[in-house]
């Protein structure tokens, strides 16, 4: 299991439905990762001040797609795609020739 930091949307009734994003630690089994890609939309959210204030404004984000059998789940995690790929050990995999 690999530890990452997930960005999740927390809709608050106190802010009249305004989206506020928060961070939490998650653990992912790298064997269930189907795809990863940059999540440029979160950079805009960061610039709008909807993420925690102590997050560096230069931060990058990655969308991770996990296999859940017949469906998948998308997670946004903190970190550049290349770094997340290394952390998940995806750069170590080789294609089978057949």
| DSSP-assigned states of every residue in the chain | -EEEEEEEEEE-GGGTT-EEEEEEEEEE-GGGEEEEEE-THHHHHHHTT-S-TTS-TT--EEEEEEEETTEEEEEEEES-HHHHHHHHTGGG--PPP-
| DSSP-assigned states of every residue in 42-53 | HHHHHHTT-S-T
Residue range 38-96, pLDDT digits in tens: 999 999 999 999 999 889 999 999 999 999 888 889 999 999 999 999 999 887 655 56
Show the tokens assigned to 60: 């990058």
Residue range 60-74, pLDDT digits in tens: 999 999 998 888 899
């Amino acid at each position: 299991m690999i530890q990452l930091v997930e960005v999740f949307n927390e809709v608050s009734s106190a802010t009249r439905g305004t989206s506020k994003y928060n961070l939490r630690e998650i653990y992912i089994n790298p064997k269930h990762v189907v795809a990863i890609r940059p999540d440029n939309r979160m950079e805009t959210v960061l610039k709008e001040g909807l993420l925690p204030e102590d997050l560096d404004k230069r931060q990058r984000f990655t969308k991770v797609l996990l296999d859940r059998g017949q469906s998948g789940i998308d997670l946004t995690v903190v970190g550049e795609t290349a770094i997340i790929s290394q952390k998940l050990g995806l750069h170590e995999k080789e294609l089978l020739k057949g």
